[in-house]
Chains A and B, each alone.
Chain A
Amino acid sequence: MTVVLFQLANGLVWGWVVALVALGLSLIYGVLRVINVAHGAFYMLGAAVGVVLYEPLQSALGNAPGAFALVLVLSPLLVGAFGALLEATALRPLVERGRWVMTIVTTFALLLILQQGAQLLLPGVRSVPAPLAGGVELLGLRYPLYRLVLAGIAVLLIGLTALFLYKTRFGLWARAVRQDRELALSLGIPAPWVYSGTFALGTALAAAAGWLTAPVVSVDPRMGMDILLQSFLVVIVGGLGSLRGAVVAALLLRLAEGLFAVGFDPVSARALALFLMGALLLWRPHGLFGREEVSS
């Protein structure tokens, strides 16, 4: 029973992390129509930048949780700004000319450059100690406190993003471009701002997730691949462009994997969860919340 509970709790925690990463991916796709293949690299970058900043900040502040929280603000800001810069220089000319295939080629190129760049600058595997020790007693199960905090922050960030999209002018613009780009542009919505802002937001969310999970996983240049796989999967199973669908599918994927992990080894559990997602996609090729593209 405790095993089941433990796996379910793990599934839930990771489900929210994947949802956070996938939310950024889905947002970028919805507004720019760009499939950001480099999204996992921004997640990795969030953790790598965090590793670089954490040590000096910790000795300066003398307080691990405080330094950790400060990095949680700084790393996404830096990565988001970097993302906006890349968007403005490499992607926007292609987006504006409608060279859709080339936008994907470009993000693919960014993936290679960022991943290999990290390999050159920060080789090897690093680990970050959890800023909060201790555990929580839950129905006879002792669960690490930090993981609960991690899930809580992920939920909070998803909620804040939703608020941002529905309560601010920028959010209104972004949703307008998402609905009907031509119409939105003809209404005078400043497209460059919306594109850069959305890309910055999406990559910053990935970076936040990267730093949040740094104490739970090991930080290395390849760490973004697994999360990219999962977020791609949930974005498409949830229905391309559907933010709600991505979150639902993320929880579904990780909870299913957690349940499978009760009876199987981790690799088989992952394989089974992937098969489940594949079956869902066969059943609904356009995703759980997706709409079929209108063909005329």
Chain B
Amino acid sequence: MKGFVSGGNRSISRRVLPLALGLVSVIALGSAPLWLDAFSLSFLLKVLIWGLFAASFDVLFGYAGLLSLGHSVYFGLGAYGAAWMTLSYGPEVFPWALGAGVLLGGLAAAAIGALAVRTGSHGFIIVTAVTALIAFLGAQSRRDLTGGDDGLTLSAMPLALGGWRAGCADPGPAYLFALGIVLLGLGALGTMIRSPLGLALRCLRENELRAQALGYDVYALKWLAFTVAGLGAALAGALYALVNCHVSAALFGWLVSADVLIWTLFGGAGTLVGPLVGTGVFLSLRELLSDLWPAGYPVLVGLALLGIARFLPRGLVGGLRTRGLGPTRKGEGP
């Protein structure tokens, strides 16, 4: 934990406290199979995977200040990359399937990012929305490859710890495997955010022209942020496919891009912990609602987005942090 930003003469507790909290969470998460039933464990795993997805989105939105309406594309490509690999070569190759998903999503992000960041800040949003639409409509029209709305079903990863076997409904040891990957991904994103690169991204978010006058290459930095975010999303997507044993064209849909936006906004953009909290809250809500009124969930997400945009633009964590600290900044955007 080389938090240079907090360096200087801050008190020790400011540095030790997060470390201790992190350690406790990792221990709690690691020992979760001992004290959680299969259903809860499976749910917790979902929160972790989607949380990684939200954290990757936040690198782009909360840190670099770029709003993407098509982050679902890279999650979906990661998931399908892993699914296709598994279906072609069997579930034994799951580490390769993971790599294939990350590679597919990462390459797509690198290519689309190169175009999107050149079109200006308003053009960026439109290009990301267009890519999301292309991916969704493409996935719908090539049912032979994607399975359309019905999707593709995979077999579970052949992981076993003694007599403890991984399954699709009960992740079992797959939980530990996925937890390790998620922590690795979150650790990588966290390291990046605390490094000089993270500072450069925040400069970019705050004032592009000024960042340029300090010597920062705006296009290269935006492209890098887009690609890293795409890689993180693809990693989450590939894990999702392997753990969930099922992928469908709906992964490319608006709802997934809206979901990640609401999780991040609700938790607080630019905090990395915030998106994880937001993911947990909203997945629990969806779980509750899935029994009562499943078709209502997208409407609820829409209404929640409306409310947050209007009344809580800095999210829960961000809103608490800045409460009573003078006026908020005038425009969040460029």
Contacts and interface: CB of A to CB of B under 8 A. Distances in A.
Contacts, number: 138
A94 B306 CA distance: 11
Contact of B134 (A109, A236, A274, A296): A274
Interface stretch (B90-98, B124-132, B161-169): B124-132
Q: Please indicate which of the listed interface residues A93, A99, A103, A274 has the most CB atoms of chain B within 10 Å of its own CB.
A: A99
B269 to A, nearest CB: 9
Contact of A112 (B121, B125, B137, B298): B298
A105 B264 CA distance: 12
A35 B125 contact: yes
Contacts of A120: 295-296, 299
B266 to A, nearest CB: 11
B215 to A, nearest CB: 16
A112 B255 contact: yes
Interface stretch (A173-181, A188-196, A277-285): A277-285
A113 B303 contact: yes
Interface string A27-38: 001000001010
B332 interface: yes
B309 A109 contact: yes
Nearest to B132: A229
B298 A116 contact: yes
A101 interface: yes
A232 B124 CA distance: 11
Given A116-B295, A226-B137, A295 B123 contact: no
Given A93-B310, A117-B299, A240-B120, A112 B258 contact: yes
B18 interface: no
A108 B332 contact: no
Contact of A101 (B126, B141, B301, B332): B332
Contacts of B295: 116, 119-120
Nearest to A25: B126
B67 A101 contact: yes
Nearest to B258: A112
Interface string A270-290: 010010001001100111000
B330 interface: yes
Interface string B67-84: 101000000000000000
A94 B309 contact: yes
Nearest to B114: A282
Given A35-B122, A102-B309, A112 B299 contact: yes
B334 interface: yes
Contact of A235 (B126, B138, B308, B334): B126
A84 to B, nearest CB: 17
Interface of A: 29, 35, 37, 90, 93-94, 97-106, 108-113, 115-117, 119-120, 225-226, 228-229, 232-233, 235-236, 240, 267, 271, 274, 278, 281-282, 285-287, 292-293, 295-296
18 contacts: A99-B332, A104-B67, A108-B254, A112-B254, A112-B301, A113-B303, A116-B295, A119-B295, A225-B133, A226-B137, A232-B126, A232-B129, A235-B126, A267-B142, A274-B134, A278-B115, A281-B115, A282-B115
Given A99-B313, A99-B333, A100-B331, 5 more contacts: A99-B309, A99-B331, A108-B261, A110-B302, A278-B115
Interface of B: 67, 69, 115, 118-123, 125-127, 129-130, 133-134, 136-138, 141-142, 209, 254-255, 258, 261, 265, 295-296, 298-299, 301-306, 308-310, 313, 330-334
